[in-house]
Structure 1
Amino acid sequence: IKVFINMHQEDKTSQIDIDLLELIRKLYQNKYFILKLVCISTILGIIISFSIPSKYCVKITISPESGQTGDNGNLTGMASVLGLGGFGTFGKDAINSNMFPDIIQTTPFIIDIYNIKVSPQNQEKEIPLHKYLDKQKIPWWNYILNLPSNIKQLFSSKQLSKTSDESNINPYKLTNKQNGTIAAIRNSISAAVDNKTNMIIVSATFQDPEVAAIVADSTVAKLQEYIIDYRTRKAQEDCNYLDKLCKERKEEYHKAQQAYADFMDTNRNVILQRTQAEGTRLQNDMSIAFQIYSQVETQLQVARAKVQEAKPVFAIVEPATVPLSPSSPNKKVLVLIFIFLGFVGSSSWILFGKDIWKNLKNINKAQ
């Protein structure tokens, strides 16, 4: 059985004759060598697969529903009837669901879950998340690769480590350890948007299944707080201002009402025109104060409705559950990959590597 491969070089056609039976014969003659390398690669794959710590992934599916993008007809109609045009309308939202994956990767967001309490398995007390990350296992080769940097960091921060408190974090000035912890949290949480259903899938991956579930649930809760705070901040500021203004106008109305009542009680039997004119003026001041207070009170009710209307609703489609089996690494697939690499590597050496090595040695001798 022969295979012919056509090669075109400088408009000249050449053929490479490959005898498959000869290749199979070579492999069969060196079957023990191939078997030896496959066994070595299998053992190496088993060692590496069991050296990589198991990780558990928890996913939560949420469906965000914004009040600002919904039907605002009721609030707009209410504002129009009351003569308060503009209170029921909303501008375009600067944050949409497509930005959620980027939001949870920001440093301020991660700092919010930096100190959340987690309860790993086989441990009674709750500990902060940043302390749990210090206890996570790492592959044995990481100790070797990180040995120079760990020694350097040990000598450079020996005095600082005695007094520093890693739980007190300053977003503007992070320590090396805090920066590394934030990077680890950033790599452990993620979010993705399903373009078909517009649902958000938030996932957290840690070595402990209960920690993964707690962090995933906390991430969704912090995300909801972040979006709700952003969407309602302006409306809440308007509401607080109108509430303060309403109290002031109410106090002014009560003062005008009290002044009119005191004047009428004092001048009950007086029929002078000047007294009647003063009473009419005080009554008009009281009426005007009441009208202003009534309008501000109406605006306050509309503003409160706007705050509620602007508040987004998050429907949790798939809640967090503690996983029973790890999501990674897949030890079987990893071992099969090493077996395949061992077979391909040994076969390539037998078929091509030996000849190339001999040619290189002959060239060096000739020189």
Structure 2
Amino acid sequence: MEENKNNKPMVIDLRLILDKLKAKKKLYFVILPVVFVLSCVYILSIPRTYNSSLSLAPEINNSSNLGGTIGSLASSFGFDLGNMETTDAINPMLYPDLMEDNGFVVGLFDIKVTTADGATQCSYYDYLTKHQAYPFWTKATNSIKALFASKDATSKGKTENNPYMLSKVQDGVANAVRNDVAINVDKKTAVITISTEAQDPMVCKTLADSVKERLQVFITNYRTSKARVDEQYYKRLVTEAKREYEKSRQRYGSYADANTDVQLASLRSKQEDLENDMQLRYNTYSTMMTQYQAAKAKVQERTPAFTVVKGAARPIRPTKPKRMVFVLGMLVLATIMITIYSLKDLILRD
């Protein structure tokens, strides 16, 4: 019971409300079945999708300059600076941004996928362009668009090798990949989570595993890029030093063989010069070889180790759409709307 503006009690007459609803009961018997049928037609037309995910913990180069006070303060807020602070230019927090790079996304086009029934075996690019189910209204819209689209727009072939010069269709596929693949990094633990979505459960799992491998390759290549450059540099120096040493050794050997019994001081002096030059070349070659071996060891040292915290499992049940929840929600919404319409006279009067 409530009071109106004149401080008179306002009584809610349930009998009057029931009478109003009974008078409009035909609306329930007509509208609710129609809403049920339309909701079923709509939700059954939307293809079901599956989700799979995995968690990956990469090795991180921790910075030794973290202050104890700052680290303790960060820990009190749930952040582990020891895991997040790194000497790399690309912080782990930036790994999700790789999905915005066409180079990384286009690199996923050639992933080989096989559907759960084994009927389709193709690249991920072909799977997205040729083996996707769509609602009937989307098919109708695409057919109409295809009538007015230019030849270049409808071409599905890869016309460019440059991932930053994509055709319209390729750009659409790249955006579809971005919608189906998500990379997230936990701020506290730096654990990388890769989530994938696809209309086939086996494709979903394969995609998650493949993205993990591509991400590992990217991280490894980045972490070892400078060390690999140094390795190639010292390898080139070793090759040059070895060639110079072999030339010097041949000159010394030829001269020594030709002047074995010579006693002239000038000839012995030249032989000593050639021997010293050969020894100098050998020392240089030995030094460069040591540097080269150290550079190779540095590459191995910089190569990060990866720990799979949670592997990608083949999903058993589709994730969305939630058909029963959608239909029930539409019925509840329709019931509320009919009820409000039936009681509008009482509502407006009050």
Measured against the shorter chain, the TM-score band is: 0.7 to 0.9
Q: Is 1:64–1:97's contact at 8 Å kept on the other side of the alignment?
A: no
Identity of aligned residues (%): 31
**Higher mean C-alpha displacement, 221-230 vs 204-213:** 221-230
Query: Distance in 1 between the 2:7 and 2:272 partners?
Result: 116
Kindly provide the amino acid, as one letter, of the partner of residue 195 in structure 1: K
Instruction: Give 1:1-367 correspondences, 5 Å limit.
Output: 2-4=1-3, 19-22=11-14, 24-25=17-18, 26-27=20-21, 29-34=23-28, 36-66=30-60, 68-69=61-62, 92-124=87-119, 126-133=121-128, 134-146=130-142, 148-153=144-149, 156-157=150-151, 164=155, 166-170=157-161, 171-352=163-344
Kindly provide the amino acid, as one letter, of the partner of residue 333 in structure 1: V
With over 3 angstroms needed to count, the CA separation of the structure-2 counterparts of 1:17 and 1:121, relative to structure 1, is: farther
With over 3 angstroms needed to count, the CA separation of the structure-2 counterparts of 1:62 and 1:303, relative to structure 1, is: same
User: How far is 1:209 from its partner?
Assistant: 0.9
By relative contact order (CA 8 Å, sep 6+), the higher-ranking structure is 1
**Higher mean C-alpha displacement, 288-297 vs 312-321:** 312-321
User: How far is 1:341 from its partner?
Assistant: 0.8
Kindly provide the amino acid, as one letter, of the partner of residue 230 in structure 1: Y
Q: Is 1:57–1:204's contact at 8 Å kept on the other side of the alignment?
A: yes
Q: Is 1:114–1:128's contact at 8 Å kept on the other side of the alignment?
A: yes
The 3-state SS of whatever aligns with 2:196 is strand
Q: Is 1:63–1:314's contact at 8 Å kept on the other side of the alignment?
A: yes
Kindly provide the amino acid, as one letter, of the partner of residue 199 in structure 2: Q
Query: Distance in 2 between the 1:301 and 1:228 partners?
Result: 20
Query: Distance in 1 between the 2:345 and 2:144 partners?
Result: 36
User: How far is 1:345 from its partner?
Assistant: 1.2
User: How far is 1:167 from its partner?
Assistant: 4.0
The 3-state SS of whatever aligns with 2:320 is coil
User: How far is 1:165 from its partner?
Assistant: 5.5
Q: Is 1:105–1:190's contact at 8 Å kept on the other side of the alignment?
A: no
Q: Is 2:46–2:321's contact at 8 Å kept on the other side of the alignment?
A: yes
With over 3 angstroms needed to count, the CA separation of the structure-2 counterparts of 1:244 and 1:123, relative to structure 1, is: same
Q: Could you say which residue in structure 2 is the equivalent of 1:75? A: none
Q: Could you say which residue in structure 2 is the equivalent of 1:76? A: none
Q: Is 2:159–2:167's contact at 8 Å kept on the other side of the alignment?
A: no
Aligned residues: 324
User: How far is 1:200 from its partner?
Assistant: 1.1
User: How far is 1:312 from its partner?
Assistant: 1.8
Q: Is 1:191–1:202's contact at 8 Å kept on the other side of the alignment?
A: yes
User: How far is 1:353 from its partner?
Assistant: 7.6
The 3-state SS of whatever aligns with 1:63 is strand
User: How far is 1:4 from its partner?
Assistant: 4.4
Kindly provide the amino acid, as one letter, of the partner of residue 187 in structure 1: N
User: How far is 1:205 from its partner?
Assistant: 0.6
Query: Distance in 2 between the 1:16 and 1:253 partners?
Result: 112
TM-score (norm 1): 0.78
Q: Is 2:252–2:271's contact at 8 Å kept on the other side of the alignment?
A: yes
With over 3 angstroms needed to count, the CA separation of the structure-2 counterparts of 1:259 and 1:32, relative to structure 1, is: same
Query: Distance in 1 between the 2:102 and 2:343 partners?
Result: 53
Query: Distance in 1 between the 2:11 and 2:141 partners?
Result: 46
Query: Distance in 2 between the 1:301 and 1:321 partners?
Result: 41
TM-score (norm 2): 0.82
